[in-house]
Chain A
Amino acid sequence: MVGIISYGAYIPRYRIKIEEIARVWGANGTEIARGLGVFEKALPDMDEDTITISVEAARAAMARRKVDPADIGAVYVGSESHPYAVKPTAVTVGEAIGATPVMTAADYEFACKAGTAAVQTSMGLVKSGMVNCAVAVGADVAQGEPGDALEYTAAAGGAALIIGNDDPIAEINHTCSFTTDTPDFWRRENKPYPRHGGRFTGEPAYFKHVIGASKMMLEKMGTKPSDYTYAVFHQPNGKFPTQAASMLGFSMEQIKPGLAVTYLGNTYSGASMVGLSAVLDIAKPGDRIFMTSYGSGSGSDSFDITVTDVINSDLFNRDAAPTVSDLLADKKIVDYAVYAKHKGKVVMME
Chain B
Amino acid sequence: MSVARFWRKQQNRYNLIGNQCTVCGKYFYPPRGFCPVCRRDGKIVEHQFKGTGKVVTFSIIRSSSGNFKLLTPYVLAIIELDEGSRLTTHLVCDIDKVYIGMPVKRVFRKLGEEGSSGAIFYGTKFVPA
Q: Taking CB as reference atom, which chain A residue is nearest B115?
A: A350
Which of A50-58, A215-223, A262-270, A303-311 is the contact stretch? A50-58
B125 at the interface (CB under 8 A from A): yes
Which of B21-29, B31-39, B77-85, B105-113 is the contact stretch? B105-113
Q: Which of these, A52, A332, A341, contacts B108 with CB under 8 Å? A: A52
A189 at the interface (CB under 8 A from B): no
**Measured between alpha carbons, how far is A156 from B90 in the docked complex, in Å?**
22
Q: Which of these, B71, B90, B108, B110, contacts A96 with CB under 8 Å? A: B108
A-B contact pairs, 17 of them (CB 8 A): A45-B92, A47-B71, A47-B90, A47-B111, A47-B125, A48-B109, A48-B110, A51-B110, A51-B120, A51-B122, A52-B108, A56-B107, A95-B14, A332-B94, A346-B70, A348-B69, A348-B70
Q: How far is the CB of A270 from chain B (nearest CB, A)?
A: 16
Q: How far is the CB of B119 from chain A (nearest CB, A)?
A: 8
Residues of chain B within 8 A of A48, CB atoms compared = 109-110
Knowing A83-B120, A95-B10, A350-B115 touch, does A52 contact B70 (C-beta < 8 A)? Answer: no
B89 at the interface (CB under 8 A from A): no
Residues of chain B within 8 A of A59, CB atoms compared = 108
Residues of chain B within 8 A of A286, CB atoms compared = none
A282 at the interface (CB under 8 A from B): no
Q: Which parts of B1-47 form the interface with A (CB within 8 Å)? A: 10-11, 14-15
Q: Taking CB as reference atom, which chain A residue is nearest B94?
A: A332
Q: Beyond A56-B107, A346-B70: 16 further Cβ-contacts under 8 Å?
A: A46-B70, A47-B71, A47-B125, A48-B110, A49-B110, A52-B107, A52-B108, A55-B108, A55-B122, A56-B108, A59-B108, A95-B14, A95-B15, A98-B15, A348-B69, A350-B115
Residues of chain B within 8 A of A95, CB atoms compared = 10-11, 14-15
**Measured between alpha carbons, how far is A210 from B18 in the docked complex, in Å?**
49
**Measured between alpha carbons, how far is A295 from B69 in the docked complex, in Å?**
37
Are B14 and A96 touching (Cβ within 8 A)? yes
Q: How far is the CB of A90 from chain B (nearest CB, A)?
A: 13
Are A46 and B71 touching (Cβ within 8 A)? yes
Total number of A residues with any Cβ neighbor in B under 8 Å = 21
Q: Taking CB as reference atom, which chain B residue is nearest A84?
A: B120
**Measured between alpha carbons, how far is A47 from B108 in the docked complex, in Å?**
9
Q: Taking CB as reference atom, which chain B residue is nearest A56?
A: B108
Knowing A51-B122, A92-B122 touch, does A350 contact B116 (C-beta < 8 A)? Answer: yes
Residues of chain A within 8 A of B108, CB atoms compared = 52, 55-56, 59, 96
Residue among B94, B115, B116, B120 with most chain A CB within 10 A: B120
Interface string of B33-73 (1 = CB under 8 A from A): 00000000000000000000000000000000000011100
Residues of chain A within 8 A of B14, CB atoms compared = 92, 95-96
Q: Which parts of A84-99 form the interface with B (CB within 8 Å)? A: 84, 92, 95-96, 98
**Measured between alpha carbons, how far is A48 from B92 in the docked complex, in Å?**
11
Residues of chain B within 8 A of A55, CB atoms compared = 108, 122
Residues of chain B within 8 A of A51, CB atoms compared = 110, 120, 122
Interface string of A294-332 (1 = CB under 8 A from B): 000000000000000000000000000000000000001
Q: How far is the CB of B109 from chain A (nearest CB, A)?
A: 4
**Measured between alpha carbons, how far is A92 from B110 in the docked complex, in Å?**
12
Are A47 and B92 touching (Cβ within 8 A)? yes
Q: Which parts of B84-112 form the interface with A (CB within 8 Å)? A: 90, 92, 94, 107-111
Residues of chain A within 8 A of B125, CB atoms compared = 47
Q: Taking CB as reference atom, which chain B residue is nearest A95?
A: B14
**Measured between alpha carbons, how far is A84 from B3 in the docked complex, in Å?**
15
Residue among A47, A48, A350 with most chain B CB within 10 A: A47
The 3 closest A-B pairs by CB, nearest first: A55-B108, A47-B110, A47-B109
Q: Taking CB as reference atom, which chain A residue is nearest B10?
A: A95
Residues of chain A within 8 A of B110, CB atoms compared = 47-49, 51-52
Q: How far is the CB of B4 from chain A (nearest CB, A)?
A: 15
Q: Which parts of A335-350 form the interface with B (CB within 8 Å)? A: 341, 346, 348, 350
Q: How far is the CB of A38 from chain B (nearest CB, A)?
A: 26
Residues of chain A within 8 A of B116, CB atoms compared = 350
